[in-house]
Amino acid sequence: MTKNTGRVGSDEWGSDEWDDANWEDGYGGLPGASSEADAGRYGLLDDFGPDDDLVDASSAPPGGVLSQPDDVLDFLLPLIGPERAGPMALWCALVDAEDRTLPVVLPFAGAPLRPDPGQLRVLVRQLADVLDELYDTREGGGVVFAIVRRAGGDQGEVETAWAASLDRACADVGVRVRAVAAVGRDRARVLRW
């Protein structure tokens, strides 16, 4: 049994009881809920969050090789999706030594217009730790960066500053930069290849 918590501070606090949902009998014992997707439709699981409009990274072709700049955009643009029109963000994707995409894509929302070199080194060190866990050496993989902002997508002042700061941070930490792309609402281009 679970107690009804009512409103905090009211006299009704914990006064009622009801049967817990039976999770062993389908999903929450709801009629017709026979799967996790059904349970989400019935309100048991929160699968309608702010990122539901994004493409699932697992739907990207696993192991696609980035052999030219167009491949980078073909890989990134479906992942970023409508976030291209959103606020400034830095997206990081990992590749192996043969530039095959790995199922690791990390978007960092709320990135400042001017990069902070200290914070970037911390981020790149964390990415280096992930690469170290995947491979014996950091040379076993690399990072694809996307500088995403609504008015971006070209070699503007913001994108140029970010690309230079990313290059420096990766050089300091010893992480290979496979590519840096600028992605905006209406355009995109690879800045570093």
Contact 116, 149 (CB under 8 A): no
CATH of domain 57-192: 3.40.140.10
d(CA 131, CA 121): 15
Average pLDDT, the chain: 78
**Residue 138: predicted pLDDT:** 60
The region, left, alpha or beta by phi > 0 then psi within -120 to 50, assigned to residue 81 is left
Residues of the chain with CATH 3.40.140.10: 57-192
So what's the pLDDT on residue 168?
97
Residue 115: pLDDT band by 50, 70, 90 thresholds?
very high
Residue 29, pLDDT score = 45
Q: What is the pLDDT of residue 50?
A: 52
What is the pLDDT averaged over residues 28-54? 46
Considering the entire predicted model, what is its pTM? Answer: 0.69
Q: Is residue 189 exposed (0-12), middle (13-18) or buried (19+ Cβ within 10 Å)? A: middle
Task: Tell me what pLDDT residue 26 has.
Answer: 45
